[in-house]
Structures are given as structure tokens and as C-alpha cells.
Structure 1
Amino acid sequence: MNWISNYVRPRFRALVAKSEVPDNLWEKCDSCGQMIFHRELAQNLRVCPHCSHHMRIPVNQRLELLFDEGQYQTIELPEAAQDPLRFRDRRRYTERLREARAKTEAQDAIVVAHGTIGGGKAVVAAFNFAFMGGSMGVAVGEGLLAAAKLACLQEAPLIAIPASGGARMQEGILSLMQMPRTTIAVEMVKDAGLPYIVLLSDPTTGGVSASFAMLGDIAVSEPGAVIGFAGARVIEETIREKLPEGFQRAEYLLEHGMIDMVVDRRELRETLGRTIKLLCRPEPEGEIVPLPGTDLDVPEKTRVTEASRPDGQDRPAE
């Protein structure tokens, strides 16, 4: 009996049992509804091959996409108060934090990394939307300040990549205080004469869009990203009017001069690398000599005196 139950029966079950197929091999596009094989989607950087809809991408893949050879180093961020208001709704705030950290294996909703993009040094502060919707609390404010200090120390441009629903409700007024704090971090970078670039991803809303996300020297966005302060439904109910087609989308903001570029995700590294080279290009060596007929103020040593010219007119030294 033992021989039959221990050997024969398992053999029969193995022959007739259906093999279990993982349920995550296919993913449905939120825009066109097409089912996409997971390997094809990963090779296409989570851009739908049918309609080019840009799906949300994990923060670690985002960093690998941007940095040269996918190589970068992260820094340890300053510790912030865990539950300063002892907030509780249906669950304690500390429980939500533990769950988010276990799910994402991250301390909070921001990651600061540094490396090279297009051969040039860069510091990137990227939001993790999977961590409580990328909401901005005290820890995120500390992260932006740490990223700004690192950029100034390395004399590298700072690239912020917001992906957030806004301020973190569980931290109340303390989360709103991060709006001026992150603005100070941006000004710190600009005062050092370094470029500040913002890569807007889906979504960028609330207090994040009302602070550091709209202060970039160059504002770049992925196609179709939702960018705004309040939700479209809230605005419609407030003004009691129908909003235009594509309102708060990246293409609409580009058309109305709110951002500078809308760039496909597969071209982001090249575009950011070229932008960094243009903004960080050193001043040309030597003295600038104006073209004939211009009124530029040129140092005296670059001019030829009137006495040395037969026509009595100044001209730049050759």
C-alpha cells in the first residue's frame, strides 16, 4: 500500500496534472487595451509597442535606463521622524510605512543616485511611486536637500524625477513645509551655477508640482504624463466648465509653454546627456573678438589704434 501511495500515485498525478502558468506573463496596456508579453514589454522599456503609451516604471529600472551602462551609486539619506503626528485613520501610519518598506525594499519615496549620463557627471533624485504613491513627506524633503548638497559637492547638475500624488496626508502641515524646503534645495544648486533639470513623469501632481517640479532650468516630460496641481474632475466641478481635450497632459503643457520638451523614454539618456553637455560646457578659451560693425565692448588689447590704421577706423586685431 505504501509503494502505491508513495510512488505510483504521484507518478500518475504528474502525468495528468496541468502545469501552473504564472499570471504575470502578460500585461494589459492602460491606453489601447492590448495584451503585451512581459519580455517584449521589458525590452521596450515598458512602452506599449501598439500605441506608444508610457507605462509607469520602477525606480531602479528608471535609474538603470538613465545612467551610462546602467551603473550608478545610491547614497544613504538622513533619517527623519517616523510618525511625528502619531497619525491614524483606518490603520496606523507606522503600519503603512512598514508595509510600504517591505513591498518596495526602500526606506521612503525618494532615491538619490549619482553617476554619469552621456559621459558627464550627474546627481539624480528619483521618486518611487510604488512607495505610498510617491507622496512627499519629511523624508523626501531631506532627500532633496541631500541631493542638492551632493550636486554642489560634485559640481554636477541635479536631475529631479518626480512621480507623486502630492504631499503626504499622514504628516499634515509638516509635509506642506517640504514645499519651501525643496525650493531652497533648488536655489542652492542654482546659486552654485549648476544646472537643475526636471524630468516629469506620470503622475506629477499636488504639492510636488507646486514646488520644485516646476522650477527646472530645463523641463522635460515623458509622453502622456499627467502634470498638474488639482485633479481634472475637481477643476471641472469648481469652474463648472468642460476642460479642453488632453488637459494636464504633457503634450498640452508643451503646446502652452509650460515645459520645454516631450521626449520618448527610449531617447531620454541621449537627450539628457546632450543637455548636460550644453549646459555644462566650459567657456571658450581666449578672447572674444566681435564681427566688424558690432558694438560689443572689446578689451583694448584686442583693438588696433586709429593711428595704426590708414582709414582711421578701429577694427579687431587679427
Structure 2
Amino acid sequence: MARSAFTLAALASAAVPGLEVDHAGQVADPDYDAAVLGGADGRAWLVRVPRTRSADTRLRAELAALAALTQGARSRLPFAVATLAGRAKVGPTFAAVTEHFPGAAVPVAQIPVEPEGLGFRIGLAIGAVHLLPPTVVVDAGLPMSGPVESRRGAIGVLERAGATGLLPLAVESRWQHAIDDADLWQFQARVVGGFDSSSFVAVGDEVVAVQGWQGLAVGDPAADLKWAVQSERVADAVFAGYWSAAGTADRRLRHRAALLSELDLGRWLLHGVDTKATDVVDDAVELLTNLAERVHGDMSARIDSPTAPVLTIGEVEDLLEQTPTRQAG
């Protein structure tokens, strides 16, 4: 049973000495019991208690990332980043209280794409993160990877998905061609956050805060941009902002983002196979078949050939979270 806003406010008060809560409002979240609290000092706070083990793991990773983002790092960013106000043990898990900022994330399909609008400013925000010094990650002992690891991960998904016998030949060839393209993997690893469209809190056309830092690492910058390629117009705006902030040295960034986005379908298929969830397998096969049809069955189609939306990383993660209740026996 979900904890009430009143209960969550009491947990927050225990976690943050001196916190005086004026009002509390429940937040609908499939992974957390959550509420936004209004403090007597006029500040707003978000209190969350994980409902599942995976949510607990993600929240711990997020808090580790917030701790790694020192004041020096934050001063380089053109948006706010929450800080941890306090935490308290709750049974086998815990309650975490972090700052809450006004605004809301905008679904991909609704992101404005006019010149220097929200899409452009999201790109600027991602670019600012990618320009952070790697020591932010190194000093915190967070994960680090580069081109070799990124390509190796892509090979692993392709080989395992191909071994299922369920990967359409057109898609398999498309991915293989991209992976074999040495130029695609010529990039400088950057500080990345593991972002998707839900990470960017906006008020109007301004990105006022960025949330969801559980993927903070040094890695492939394309991983933070793959969600944007689901819409060509949104991608145009986001990449324009990104290149304005971070430069254009990574010439194949957009193509690599497209590959990583498509590979998420392979991961979804493998998740269904590994968990023997036939409905997930069927769903993944349908999505991959649709992708194959969009490249017109041309086995030589390159990854930079435009396709319609596939599946956003947020959608894949949501599906992964839902799977345990959908598994076949």
C-alpha cells in the first residue's frame, strides 16, 4: 500500500532536522512513494521511498551522482541540480529528501523545435554536462568507458540478439554495417548523465533543472542524445543546441545515437528471452519487424538512413520495470 503524503512528510521531517512542512502533495510515480513538500521557508522538497529493489538501486546511484557534483561542477552548469537534504532508514530501504524545482519535463513529441527554443536549450544543457571535467567522475569512483567499450557493448547486443533467431536480417545487417564502421567509433569520451527526455525540467523554453543523474559516468556522449533521434525535428533542434555548446568534433555523434537507440530494441528482446516473458519477446519482435520494414528490407541500409521513431530509452526502461509482473510461467 502506498504511503500517504502525510506519512511521507513525517519521514522527511525525521530525515531533515529542523524541516517544517507547511503542506504536502502526493506524486504519482510507479517506482516510488513520493510527495512534494512545501517548507515553512518557502522552499520545496521531494521525498521518495523506493517501492522495489531496482528503484532502491537507482535512487542510491542518483544520490551518489548528486554528491559527486561538487559546487565547482555545478557552477559550470546553466541549470539547477538538486542536493540531498537528508535521508532516513525505512525498513529495508530508505527515504530521501531532495530539492524540488518548479517546472515539468516535456514529452519528446511536444518539445518545441523553433530556433533557440526548448529543444535547442536542452541540447545546450547536455553540452554543458559533457564539458564537465572527467575528474568529477574519477574522484567519485563512478564508471568510466570509452570507444572500445561502447563498440564492444554494441557487438554484444548484436551477437546475442542474432543468436535468438528473432532478429530480422535487414536489421542485423544494418547494425553490423554500423558496428564495422570504424569512423563511427572515433569519439572522445565525455561526462554523461544517462539522460532521456524526462530529465529536463522546463519552464516555458528554459531548462531550469536537470534530474535523473543515476547514470553519471564517463562514456559515449551519444548515450545522452539517443532519445532525441526518435523525432527528426526534435533531433535537429537538440543537436543544434548541443553542437553550439560542445562543438562539432564528434562528426558521427548523431549516427551513433541512432544506432544506440535501435540497439535498445535488441536489449528489450534479450530481456524477454532471458526472463522467458513471451509477451515481451512478441512486443520486441514486432518493434524490430517495424524497423525492418522502415528500412525497406534493404540489407545494405546504413544507420544514417532516416527511420521513423523506434522506442525511447524511457519507454524501454518503463517496460523493463513492468516486466516482472508480466512474465510468462
**Higher RCO (C-alpha 8 Å, min separation 6):** 2
Q: Establish whether TM, by shorter chain, passes 0.5.
A: no
- TM-score normalised by the chain length of structure 1: 0.26
Larger radius of gyration: 1
Whose helix fraction is larger, Structure 1's or Structure 2's? 2
- TM-score normalised by the chain length of structure 2: 0.25
